[in-house]
């Protein structure tokens, strides 16, 4: 994960779903945003195509550059007042319509795009609706777009035949989550291999596993910090040489 030199990496755990509370389709459910973050690859530029409540933006490590699209004017205005806080460039435009234009100006190999569009209405049990829904044709256009503009994408949905057919060669992971309509199987599709060097804030398969990893990391950091400056420098150099050879 990348951040500007000298800028503190910020974990927004305490701010989950606080910018726009109770947003329809929010990923703030316990275990859900952690599941998504554990599948985020290493990247320098983070893009959200359908920002909404912005749970993933709020809980991931902030990237050097963050870009978002939001067509709902009221949601856009709320985020626009907070964009400095999140180092965010936000566009009150359709991702499907404007992503190809903005993508031309970006180093796409360094980007990661998370897409959480309004789910296909046929897969949703809740009667709540978005102000800006998507038709089946809109979903088809979105899936065509991610095959046209090449970069790393993750797409959230409830599993359905359309996505299964068009994204048949993408990696697929699922988890159960509590939603307004009850317990549902949330699915993410990804066009990149699993990346253990990606987001690690919530590494672990469940709460117990995350706590185990957190304690283990804490012990190791404490041990390294207790070393002399010379010993610590040697250990860190050895770790960098062993695990990050491509950047040494």
pLDDT digits (tens, 9 = 90+) for 123-153: 887 666 878 899 999 999 999 999 999 999 9
pTM over 0.85, yes/no: no
- Contacting residues for 140 by C-beta, under 8 A, at least 6 apart: 162, 166
In this structure, what token pair is assigned to residue 229? 């400056």
Query: What pLDDT is attached to residue 7?
Result: 39
Using an 8 Å Cβ cutoff, are 143 and 167 in contact?
yes
Q: How far apart are CA 132 and CA 111, in angstroms?
A: 26
What is the tens place of the pLDDT at every residue in 3-32? 443 333 444 444 565 777 777 777 877 678
- Is residue 122 helix, strand or coil? helix
H or E stretch including 187?
Answer: strand 182-190
What residue has token string 């500007």?
4
């Amino acid at each position: 994960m990348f951040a500007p030199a000298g800028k503190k990496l910020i974990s927004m755990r305490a701010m989950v779903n606080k910018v726009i509370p109770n947003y329809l389709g929010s990923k703030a459910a316990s275990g859900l945003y952690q599941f998504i973050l554990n599948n985020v690859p290493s990247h320098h530029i983070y893009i959200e195509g359908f920002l909404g409540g912005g749970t993933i933006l709020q809980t991931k490590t902030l990237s050097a550059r963050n870009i978002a699209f939001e067509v709902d004017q009221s949601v856009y205005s709320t985020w626009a007042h907070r964009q400095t806080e999140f180092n965010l460039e936000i566009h009150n435009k359709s991702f499907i319509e404007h992503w190809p234009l903005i993508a031309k100006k970006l180093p796409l190999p360094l980007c990661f795009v998370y897409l959480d569009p309004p789910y296909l209405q046929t897969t949703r049990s809740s009667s709540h609706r978005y102000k800006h829904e998507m038709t089946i044709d809109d979903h088809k256009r979105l899936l065509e777009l991610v095959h046209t503009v090449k970069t790393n994408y993750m797409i959230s949905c409830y599993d359905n035949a359309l996505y299964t057919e068009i994204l048949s060669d993408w990696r697929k992971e699922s988890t159960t989550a509590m939603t307004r309509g009850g317990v549902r199987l949330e699915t993410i599709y990804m066009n990149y291999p699993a990346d253990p060097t990606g987001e690690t804030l919530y590494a672990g398969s469940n709460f117990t596993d995350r706590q185990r990893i957190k304690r283990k990391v804490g012990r190791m950091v404490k041990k390294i910090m207790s070393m002399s400056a010379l010993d610590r420098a040697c250990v860190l150099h050895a770790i960098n040489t062993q695990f990050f050879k491509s950047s040494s």
